Amino acid sequence: MLLAWVLVLAVLTGVVAWIGPDRLLAPWRLISLPALGIALILMVLSYALRALRIQRYFIHELRGQFWPTLKLSTWHILLNNFLPMRTGEISFPVLMQRYFTLPAARTVPVLLWFRLLDLQAIVLIGLLAAIGGMGLPDAWVILVIILLPAPLLVYLARRRVRQIIAARPDGKWRSRLLSSVDSLPHSVAHFLAALGWTWANWLIKLVTLAWVLAHLAPLGLAAALAGAIGGDLTTVLPIHAPGGFGTFEAGVMVALQPFGLDAANSLTAALNLHLFVLGSSMLAALIVLLIKTPNQIEPEREPGQQ
């Protein structure tokens, strides 16, 4: 891990030296403080929507626990941003156990379900934006039609899958697989709520990042949205460098390639957008430190109790 960070910082130093510190910071001088503040608020709003998705999914266990859930979700995002190869995902079951005493067998399958919903939302938003605003051939609509009902098919298949697993001989893996299937949405309302919070989060986050990217480089909104999706897609996939440095920038630059932006401007915009993502997650993590979790709240004492 230490060697990986040393290599990343060495490459980052070389990139900054190649771009030049003045050129790297120049786009930020063109963004007004109120506009930057609004962008940060929208990023925090996307964190709140992710927290609501968690709380509403575990509604019986987390009823009335929005603020601790927001703290958990924000720290989960921060660790995902900074730890390599998706190792930050481990923080979700760990924090759910620590804050709310929910076992990993209950939370890990839900995390996998959330990630499938996230991947579907990002890819579909990207395809719809490309078809509608970037002239992608209409034949790509077929992929949209295939991906759109994918979560619904998983939801509808859960009972049949459970019957098949339940018919197997008793054993450790049978109970684990049953627990995983039982973690899927248990009703249409439960399913639609998770899907709705997922799409609300990603629409706000990606549009915000696209708006910021459009101010960091001479790009139209459609091109900026493509770059934002390319960068954020690397945070969902397993290929993720320490801090996302390198992989995030590569995702943005690959997505911007069809729009004719030269390599220096493309890399500068990608690196600045990445710094905005990391900076907003660090700021949010510092703010939620003030929130007390259930295990930090002392029980009320009876009158006369020492």
pLDDT tens profile 225-237: 999 999 988 887 7
Give Cα 178 distance to the centre of its chain: 27
Residue whose structure tokens are 């009823």: 63
Tokens 């996307």, residue located: 46
What are the residues whose beta carbons fall under 8 Å from the beta carbon of 125, sequence distance 6 or more? 202, 203, 206, 229
Distance in angstroms (rounded) separating the CA atoms of residues 139 and 136: 8
At 279 the pLDDT is: 92
Q: What are phi and psi of 84, to 5 degrees?
A: -80, 160
pLDDT mean across residues, the chain? 86
Least trusted range by pLDDT, from 41-45, 59-63, 102-106, 294-298? 294-298
Query: What gap in Å lies between CA 5 and CA 85, rounded to an integer?
Result: 13
- pLDDT(127) > 50: yes
Q: In a 3-state reduction of DSSP, which class is residue 246?
A: coil
**What is the distance between the alpha carbons of residues 91 and 97, in angstroms, rounded to a whole number?**
10
Q: Where does the chain have alpha helices with state H?
A: 2-19, 21-25, 33-57, 59-62, 66-82, 91-100, 104-133, 141-147, 150-166, 172-182, 188-216, 221-236, 247-256, 263-288
pLDDT digits (tens, 9 = 90+) for 134-166: 666 777 788 888 888 889 888 888 888 888 888
Comparing 124 with 306, the larger pLDDT belongs to 124
pLDDT digits (tens, 9 = 90+) for 15-74: 777 778 888 888 898 888 899 999 999 999 999 999 999 999 999 999 999 999 999 999
* Better-scored residue on pLDDT, 68 or 126: 68
Contact (Cβ atoms closer than 8 angstroms) between residue 54 and residue 73: yes
Q: What local confidence, expressed as pLDDT, does residue 296 receive?
A: 66
Which of 49-63, 263-277, 288-302 shows the lowest mean pLDDT across its residues? Answer: 288-302
Residue 170 burial by Cβ neighbours in a 10 Å radius (0-12, 13-18, 19+): exposed
